[in-house]
Structure 1
């Protein structure tokens, strides 16, 4: 009968898995140290008419994106007091509706935030289309064999 724990220790060595996990944890902490700081920014971008401490959020934005805090605070206050924009707050392209001359800093921040997340959709759509083409080619052409798994 084989002792799997002993075999595991002989193949991998004692503590190697723990060391690997600790390295992953340290790397994760290093890469995502600022993620907690970005939470209020994400909330502002997702719904700019929520309850925020405008001074804190503007200083957070200024620090994160190297922008002028007082101009940012002014833009946040101006956008929150605009009832026409508030009526369109749930539009998918809300930040594109903002006049660039009136809200240049907030639009810039929003576009940077959207750039974090916007790159996966084209790839997913392309792969979906390729899968459809692959399926249709094999469906109509009996000589074109494809694994449909």
Structure 2
């Protein structure tokens, strides 16, 4: 199911579910272009997505990105004064989103319910908050003392 060839309707639903107002990719085309001109470009877009799923490789430069540094304030002169923004190719985002949507259907069955990431509405930051609370109460002596063990973080 994860690697099956997507139908046009699946590709279209992915295109229209994504943010059309995001920054355009290195090719200059953003989501709003694909959404607005879907009736013109849909055959080429769907064929390109299917090409990836049938042949297992990407067209040259399809996964090319540009990182642009946006100054946080006027007169920025050191790297800390800039905010990086990645301009990803929207076409590549379509392929990625098809795979992500499919994984979202499978993930709850293969990831333990005790995991705090990869499951919808759970965040790994929840563990950090719990850990911080536990560390804050370590100084309170109970039953002869307390101990914290860091395992696989």
TM-score (norm: length of structure 2) = 0.26
TM-score (norm: length of structure 1) = 0.26
Q: Larger relative contact order (C-alpha < 8 A, sep ≥ 6)?
A: 2
Q: State the structure with more CA Rg.
A: 1
